Amino acid sequence: MVKTQTLSFPIRLPDGMQAQALRLLDASRPAINQIITALWPQLDVFAGERAGPAWKQVERHLLTRSGHGSRQERCEMEQAGRILRAQASRKRVFEAIVPLLSEGLIIPAQGKRPARKDHRQINEQVSALRAQLQDAGEDAEAFVAMTNLMEQACNWYLQTGAFPSTYEALQPVPILSVGHLTFAGDDGMKAGQAYRARIELAPGCDLESRQERHLASLSLRLRTPDDQGTWSWGAWSQAIALPPTVCASLAQGALPQAPTLREIQGDDGSRVAVLDLTLEVPARYVSPLEQETRVLGWDWGVRSLITVSILQRPEEGEERSRQVSRPVFLETGGIDGRQARLRREIDRLKACRDHYGQLVKEAQAAQQEHGVPLPAHLAGWQRHVQEYEARINQCWKAYERRNRELAHLASNLLILLALLYDCRLICGEDLRTLKTQGRGRGVRGRFRNWRNNSTVRGELWRVLKYKCHLLGIRARQVEARGTTHTCPRCGQPAKTYASAAPEDRKKAISWGAMLCCSNAECLWNGARDYAASLNIARLGMAFLLTYQQTRRYESYRVTSSEVNSCLYSGQEATLLLPSQGITPRPPEGKQVSYAGWSYTIALRTSQPREVLAILSTSQLRKDVLSSA
């Protein structure tokens, strides 16, 4: 059986098809919301059996239909069923954390500072619950969902003064606010009764590079209602040219799946219909673990986004693995500052919006209770609320767009280094071991840690997993607790300091930048992020060696006896860059800005700056990834 990966590509529909596509979404959205609202009291039904399409499960419990036609109704039920199944899973997680909800999770108000969530207590409670579920043999993989639900319950307590007793009290009915319709309930592209599509693939030539390539186009036909509500088939759309990535995937044998139609709303209220073209893309063969000899370890950095190191399996007669790479740091200080300023701007806009919103509420309440005439400024206050809300949404879009791009960039760098060092096992810090902290006043350090914990970490892992799956690379999360305070050379506990200078080593700092080993036989010192990446690679090496010896999958902690220390081999630390005919940019300073991210993101390592400049070029990334 061929291993595949499902990928989705958004395709903007032609202008001539926008009107009928938006009419279809406008007709299906109320029907989907009606299904969700009708079946919301029966949410527990969707927590059990998940086999088969979701529309079949909805059909057994639905009493009324939309009257839009058999296959259109199936698509609407499929969309609603997927939402209900996801909410049922969250409800099961909520029921597991209900016994943990207490006032101990709330820090009382102190002076002018209002009451707030105790993030440390929340993490401790969730970690204890996860360990309890693991001991009982139950599923304990929903750690992030547990944390999110517990924080949501604490927010409810801060607003109402009591914790919710049921999931339905905490979570409002999740109705759609914009159009979103999957065609998975229809009979396929050729025989569908709600949509029909055809994809044409033909050979072509790129005039600039004079290289052969495949060209693909999509033609779409929809069954939609007209202005009077009468359903009928529309005309075939003009041929929609597909992106080169889609063309390459189709040429490699990717199979089209049921697409999804959705709308995107702009800040000015404009609406655009987009078709998410879904492909089952063939993935690369994953080599057996018995053949693997190297492990790439990466860590979320305190002073950088990620830090990367690579270890080689010990030879016969050796006990310790050898380090075969110099550390690589992905510095993101420039974009961190921009994101921090953007979050502060969002907070300022929210305060202004809430101020005018409170004025509107007070004026309306005074009119209803005491008959006071509405002030002349009411319309201006309401206009200010709408304007601030639009600006907040615009800032959030920019914030999320930067995080997505940053996650793709970091994952591409990890895969590039793994391919250059012939490594097919990437190990990183488990999301469940990271702490969530607020932005605070020390915005430079605290914001970076908060950013890593809340947004980029999940997005990076999601992107990294599907890219590794396509390229035949294993991506594994390890228990990274203690990796930043353990010496990678001798394996003994170590302390962190502001620097390695003698005057700065008088007092240890928990978040210090340098790790210094006090073992008299070792005395290793280096950046704590560098040490953490080596220790994570050690955990991956222990997993690899255990499997090769026993054929069992075992996870370890850095304190386990099976985790051996590592040695540094300067002779094998040379980065084997393939000959690409690339002329590096003139290097300046101790680091090189990443291509396309000047003055915001940079690579830093002890490699020669000419090599580092080549490593940061987009041409090298494309050539290595395409030849993988």
**Secondary structure string (H, E, C) spanning 528-542:** HHHHHHHHHHHHHHH
CA atoms within 13 A on the CB side of 363: 16
Least confident of 41-45, 260-264, 404-408: 404-408
How many angstroms separate the CA atoms of 69 and 232, rounded? 11
pLDDT at residue 453 is higher than 90: no
Q: Is the separation of the CB atoms in 514 and 527 below 8 Å?
A: yes
184 and 127 in a common domain: no
184 and 270 in a common domain: yes
Q: Residues 212-226: what's their mean pLDDT?
A: 92
pTM score of the predicted model: 0.80
278 and 194 in a common domain: yes
How many angstroms separate the CA atoms of 129 and 122, rounded? 11
Residue 599 falls in which region: left (phi positive, over 0), alpha (psi -120 to 50) or beta? left
Phi, psi of 21 (to 5 degrees): -65, -40
Is 358 domain-assigned? yes
185 and 71 in a common domain: yes
> Given the structure tokens 């007092």, which residue do they identify?
507
* Among the listed residues 322, 262, 245, 329, the one whose alpha carbon sits nearest the alpha carbon of residue 626: 245
> Given the structure tokens 């953490």, which residue do they identify?
532
CA distances from 166 to 21, 96, 158, 414, 552 (A): 38, 11, 17, 43, 41
The 10 Å Cβ neighbour count of residue 266 is 11
Could you tell me the two tokens for 140? Answer: 């304990």
Q: Residues 49-58: what's their mean pLDDT?
A: 87
Is 183 domain-assigned? yes
pLDDT, tens only, 404-420: 888 898 999 999 999 98
* CA 208 from centroid of its chain's CA atoms: 36
Is 508 domain-assigned? no
pLDDT, tens only, 579-618: 444 444 444 445 666 666 666 777 777 777 667 677 777 6
Instruction: Say whether 17 sits in a helix, a strand or coil.
Output: helix
Is 469 domain-assigned? no
Instruction: Say whether 492 sits in a helix, a strand or coil.
Output: coil
Burial of 365 (0-12, 13-18, 19+ CB in 10 A): exposed
Is 523 domain-assigned? no
How many angstroms separate the CA atoms of 568 and 606, rounded? 14
Q: pLDDT band at 91, cuts 50/70/90?
A: very high
Compare 583 and 13 and report the one with higher pLDDT: 13
- Name residue 272's amino acid: V
pLDDT at residue 443 is higher than 60: no
Please give the pLDDT value at position 204: 81
Q: Which domain holds residue 134?
A: 102-163
Domain end position, chosen among 163, 184, 209: 163
141 and 72 in a common domain: no
Is 34 domain-assigned? yes
Burial of 50 (0-12, 13-18, 19+ CB in 10 A): exposed
Q: Residues 430-458: what's their mean pLDDT?
A: 52
The greatest distance separating any two alpha carbons of the chain, rounded to the nearest whole angstrom, comes to 91
Which helix (H) or strand (E) element contains residue 448? helix 443-451
> Given the structure tokens 């003698």, which residue do they identify?
502
Work out how many domains the chain is built from and give that number.
3
